[in-house]
Chain A
C-alpha cells in the first residue's frame, strides 16, 4: 500500500500542475455558460476562437513577435559571438576587469532600468519600433558568458592550424570556433526565443500601436476588463497565443530541457 502513495502523489501534483492549462483548453472549446458550470456533455464549439480572432489584430501581433524574436536572436548571435570570442581567445590589458563589468549586467536587469532605458530609446528614435523592443537585450551578458565558455573549450591546435593555413582572426572565428560551438548556439537560440516570445513589461512600455505590439502585450489588452470579453474568449485567445511555443516545446521537449540546462548550469 505504502509504495503506491509516492507515485500517486507525483501524478497528482503533475495533474494539478497542468490543470490551469487543461481548464483553459476546455473553456476555449465550450460556450461560456457551459464552461463555468462544467457541463461535461456540452457540445464543443469554435465560436470563442472566431470571436477572439476578430477582436484584435492577432495576425499582426504574431508577425511582430516573430520579427522581434528573430531580430533579437540575430543581434545576440552577432554581438555575443564577437564579444565571447574576444574574451575567450584574445589577450589585452584590462580584459578581466572588463569581463567582470559585463557580468554585472546579469544583475542590472533591463527590466529594472525601464525608466532610463525608455529615455535612451526615445533619444535614439526607437520608441514604438521592433528595434526599440529588441535593442536592450542584444548585448546580453548571459550570451557573452555562454559563448566565451563554448569558445574556451575549442582546442588551441585547431586555431593555430587555421592561422597557418592563412586565416585571419575573423576567418578563424567563422571557420573553427562557430562550427565547434553549434550545440551552444542551438541551446541559446531556444532559451532566447522562449524568453522573448514571453517578455511583457518592456514591450508594453516601448510600444503604443498595433503595428509594433507583440503577442503578450496584445493579449493583455485583449483580456482587459474594459474590453468586456468573457472567460471562454479569453481562454481561446490565450490558447492561440501559447499554442506555437507549446507545440514546439512538446515536439522538441528533450532539446528544450537540454537547452535550459546548458544555458543555466555555468
Chain B
C-alpha cells in the first residue's frame, strides 16, 4: 500500500519536472545563463583580433565610474524616473477618478485616456515629432500665438530630456489608470453613502477613504513604473538619439550604443550588471515588503 503510494508520488514528481523542462530550458537560455554571462563578460577586457580578452577584475567598472558620460546618463535616468513616475501615477489617479465618476461622455474619456497604451512607442514618437519640430511644430505654433520665441524642443540640452519625459507620461498614465479603475470599482458603495450621511465633502471622502484603500494598487503601479523607467527608451531612437550632447541619453540606450554601435561589450555588460542589481533590489522590495499583504495562494 505504502509502496504504491510512494510510486504514485514519484510518478507525479517526475511529471512535474517533465512539464517544467521546456520552460526551464528557454528561461535558462534567455534569462539565467545570459545574466551570469553578463557578469563574467563585465570582468574581462575587450578582446581584439590581436589581443585576446583577458581577465581584468573590476577594471571595467572603474573605467565606467571614471566615464563622465556614464554619470550624466545615470543622472538623466534618475531625473527621468523622478519626473515620469510621480507624474504618470498622479495623472493615472485623476483619470481613474474621472473615468469612474458620473461625468458626461465617460466612455469617450476612458477610451481617450487609454488609447496611447495600445500604440507602439515608435509610433508614439512619430506622433510627437509633429509637436516638437522646430520650424512648424505645433508647440511652437501655439507659442507663436502668445508671442513666444520658437524653441527647438528636441535640439536644446535644457529641453530634450523633458520632451522625452512628456511622451513617456503620455504613454503610461492611461495604462496605470486601468489598475486604479479596477481598484475603485471594488470599493463598496456604502462607504460613500456613510460618508455623505456624516456630511463629509467629496474631497474628504476621496482623501480619507479612497486614497488609503488605493494604497496597495499604488505600490503595485509604483513597481511597474520603476521597471518602465529603465525599459521605456524606444522613443529616443526617433526623437533625440540621446542628444544633444548626451543630454537625453538613458541607461538602456547607452548600453545598446556601447554594445552595438561602439562594440564595447565589456562596458555594456558592466552597466547591465548594475541595472540587474538595481532590478534585484526592486524585486526583493516587491517580494519581501509588498507581498506580505498580498499572499500568493
Which residues of A line the B interface, CB within 8 A? 6-7, 9-11, 13-15, 17-18, 20-21, 23-24, 27, 36-38, 78-80, 82-83, 85-87, 90-93, 95, 98, 100-120, 124, 135-136, 138-139, 141, 144, 149, 152, 169, 194, 197-201, 204-205, 215-216, 219-220, 223, 231, 234-235, 237-238, 241-242, 245-246, 249-250, 253, 256-257, 260-261, 264-266
Contacts and interface: CB of A to CB of B under 8 A. Distances in A.
B234 interface: yes
Given A20-B130, A115-B255, A241-B120, A138 B114 contact: no
B111 interface: yes
Contact of A18 (B112, B260, B283): B112
Given A82-B22, A120-B30, A91 B109 contact: no
Nearest to B14: A92
Contact of B118 (A110, A116, A220, A256): A256
Contact of A20 (B13, B131, B268, B282): B131
A224 to B, nearest CB: 8
B55 interface: no
Contacts, number: 274
B63 interface: no
Nearest to B15: A169
B237 A200 contact: yes
A21 B115 contact: yes
Contact of A112 (B29, B33, B116, B276): B276
Interface of B: 9, 12-17, 19-20, 22-27, 29-35, 37-38, 41, 94-95, 98, 101, 103-105, 108-109, 111-124, 126-131, 133, 136, 138, 141, 170, 174-175, 178-179, 182, 220, 224, 227, 230-231, 233-234, 237-238, 252, 255-256, 259-260, 265, 268-269, 272, 275-276, 279-280, 282-283, 286-287, 294, 296-297
- Is the contact region of chain B dominated by helix, strand, or loop, or is it mixed? helix
- Is the contact region of chain A dominated by helix, strand, or loop, or is it mixed? helix
A261 B112 contact: no
Given A205-B260, A219-B126, A107 B227 contact: yes
A216 B122 contact: yes
B259 to A, nearest CB: 5
B37 A116 contact: yes
A205 B100 CA distance: 41
A197 B119 CA distance: 9
A253 B16 CA distance: 38
B276 A108 contact: yes
Contacts of A250: 111
B279 A23 contact: no
B12 A106 contact: no
A37 B136 CA distance: 8
Contacts of B26: 79, 135, 138-139
Contact of A201 (B32, B113, B116, B234): B234
A102 B24 CA distance: 8
A144 B113 CA distance: 30
Nearest to B283: A107
B120 A266 contact: no
Contacts of B255: 112, 114-115
Given A14-B112, A201-B233, A98 B119 contact: no
B182 A113 contact: no
B157 to A, nearest CB: 19
A55 to B, nearest CB: 14
11 contacts: A13-B113, A17-B112, A17-B115, A90-B12, A115-B259, A117-B34, A120-B34, A198-B118, A219-B122, A219-B126, A241-B123
